[in-house]
Amino acid sequence: MQIHIFSLTCAELAAELNRRYGKGHYHARALCREIFKAGTTAFASAPEFVRSPSLTLQLCRDVCLPSCRIVEQIEDGVLKFASALDDGHLIESVIIPSHDRTTLCVSSQAGCRMACSFCTTGAMGFIRNLSVEEIVWQVYAARFLLSHRVDNIVFMGMGEPLDNLDNVVQALRVISDQRGLDIPLSHITLSTAGHADGLARLAALNLTRLRLAVSLNAADDVLRSSLMPINNKYPLSRLRQELLSFPLCKGGIIFVEYVLLAGINDSLEHARSLARFLDGLPVRVNVIAYNGDGSTVYGTPPPEQVRQFCSWLAGEKIFVRARQSRGQSIMAACGQLGASLCADAQRGDRSCPDHPCNLL
Ligand code: SF4
């Protein structure tokens, strides 16, 4: 059995080294330092390993690094990169620099089974969950292979993170490990389409520093179910119940993402129903005008409609911001990941799922 080092915290690695070779924290810390702090996989030349040649031989044999590789990069203000997994499937991640920090948007699944009607990834259908190391690898790749600082992470790429909760939670542990990549939970946002069972399980873990975002997009069940089939399984009343009991740190808030679709969910009545749903919840609402790529029936609302929608909410004393979604030109904006993968697959260049997006 190999040691999948991208799946382990430093403490877990130390326990594994102890179990296998009678070694412990000293070598585990050196391994984590070389790989996750220095970004080198040639750990054998580090002093701790030069002094322990037989252990080093065993580690070179047993330590397993992810076999993902970057196969494409496209840059236009943001940098989108596609990674090939060891079974040939592809995922996308996006590096979003701003004036004082850089955010990495990571994928948690190849494809997605949630089938949101406005989302390109949803149209791909579900391929499979990403392993812990495949999630962590995206952070490593952004930082060390593409040489970008990564201050914040958002789980808003391909997939519903709460549909792959066990692997996502272990990835959070590894990414936030101070002896490793050291990105604190308070800088990580997990975004869900409203997977209420997953929210309940996540709440039980009491990760109060983790930031939570909910992609809402409508606050009445009929409309929301038509946009997001997950609402059939977890209607708004259940979702609200989970949000009300979700553990937050003192002063903590839940981010609510609302993609405005022209003529669909952008009226005063929709804003009123959203305000009713949010009543009593500690939230900040991010309103994002839909990024039309021509692959769906939806249109982008005019800027005046976005402004009015936001001011209606603000008038209800809701903290709201109109957010610019960056990366439209390279299909890296919200809801656009996977478009290039599907297009290539249709041309026969790449793998893409057979599955229809009908699983909920
Ligand atoms: S919006 Fe998120 S949950 Fe919905 S289909 Fe797209 S990736 Fe999946």
CATH at residue 223: 3.20.20.70
Residue 120 near residue 357, CB atoms below 8 Å: no
Q: So what's the pLDDT on residue 346?
A: 39
112 lines ligand 1 (CB under 6 A): yes
122 lines ligand 1 (CB under 6 A): yes
Q: How far is Cα 148 from Cα 103, in angstroms, rounded to an integer?
A: 10
Same domain, 326 and 194: yes
Same domain, 151 and 288: yes
**Domain count of the fold of the chain:** 2
Residue entry with tokens 């190391």: 133
Q: So what's the pLDDT on residue 116?
A: 95
CA-proximal residue: ligand 1, atom 5 (nearest): 122
DSSP code, position 91: E
The whole-angstrom distance between residue 297's C-alpha and the CA centroid of its chain comes to 26
Last residue in a domain, options 64, 79, 106: 64
Same domain, 96 and 202: yes
What is the β-pairing status of strands 188-192 and 211-215?
A: parallel
Residue 130 near residue 167, CB atoms below 8 Å: yes
The whole-angstrom distance between residue 249's C-alpha and the CA centroid of its chain comes to 21
Residues constituting the chain = 360
Ligand 1 pocket test target in 108, 109, 119 with most atoms within 8 Å of CB: 119
Residue 291 near residue 335, CB atoms below 8 Å: yes
Residue 332 near residue 72, CB atoms below 8 Å: no
Helix, coil or strand: residue 198: helix
Q: So what's the pLDDT on residue 291?
A: 80
User: Could you list the residue range(s) of the whole structural domain that residue 270 is in?
Assistant: 69-346
Q: How far is Cα 165 from Cα 192, in angstroms, rounded to an integer?
A: 11
335 lines ligand 1 (CB under 6 A): yes
Which residue in the list 112, 119, 334, 342 is annotated as catalytic?
334
Q: How far is Cα 189 from Cα 212, in angstroms, rounded to an integer?
A: 5
Same domain, 296 and 337: yes
Same domain, 142 and 160: yes
DSSP code, position 261: -
Q: How far is the CA of 156 from the centre of ligand 1 (A)?
A: 8
Q: How far is the CA of 158 from the centre of ligand 1 (A)?
A: 7
Q: Which atom of ligand 1 is nearest to the CA of 193?
A: 3
For the chain, 360 residues long, give each residue's pLDDT as a single digit of tens: 899 999 999 999 999 999 999 999 999 999 999 999 999 989 999 999 999 999 999 999 999 999 999 999 999 889 999 999 999 999 999 999 998 999 999 999 999 999 999 998 899 999 999 999 999 999 999 999 999 999 999 999 999 999 999 999 999 999 999 999 999 999 999 999 999 999 999 999 999 999 999 999 999 999 999 999 999 999 999 999 999 999 999 999 999 999 999 999 999 999 999 999 999 999 999 999 998 767 788 999 999 999 999 999 999 999 999 987 776 665 665 566 766 665 544 343 333 222 222 221
Tell whether 74 is covered by a domain. Answer: yes
Q: So what's the pLDDT on residue 339?
A: 61
Q: So what's the pLDDT on residue 334?
A: 55
Residue 336 near residue 91, CB atoms below 8 Å: no
193 lines ligand 1 (CB under 6 A): yes
- Relative orientation angle of helices 196-205 and 165-176, to the nearest 10 degrees: 40
Residue entry with tokens 């790529």: 293
Tell whether 360 is covered by a domain. Answer: no
Q: Alpha-carbon torsion 156, 160, 165, 166, what sign?
A: negative
Residue 284 near residue 248, CB atoms below 8 Å: no
Same domain, 299 and 182: yes
Q: So what's the pLDDT on residue 65?
A: 94
Ligand 1 pocket test target in 108, 113, 116, 165 with most atoms within 8 Å of CB: 116
Q: How far is the CA of 126 from the centre of ligand 1 (A)?
A: 10
| 105 is an active site residue | no
Same domain, 153 and 285: yes
194 lines ligand 1 (CB under 6 A): no
Q: So what's the pLDDT on residue 182?
A: 98
108 lines ligand 1 (CB under 6 A): no
Tokens at residue 12, please? 């877990």
Q: How far is Cα 209 from Cα 67, in angstroms, rounded to an integer?
A: 31
Helix, coil or strand: residue 59: helix
- Relative orientation angle of helices 236-244 and 196-205, to the nearest 10 degrees: 10
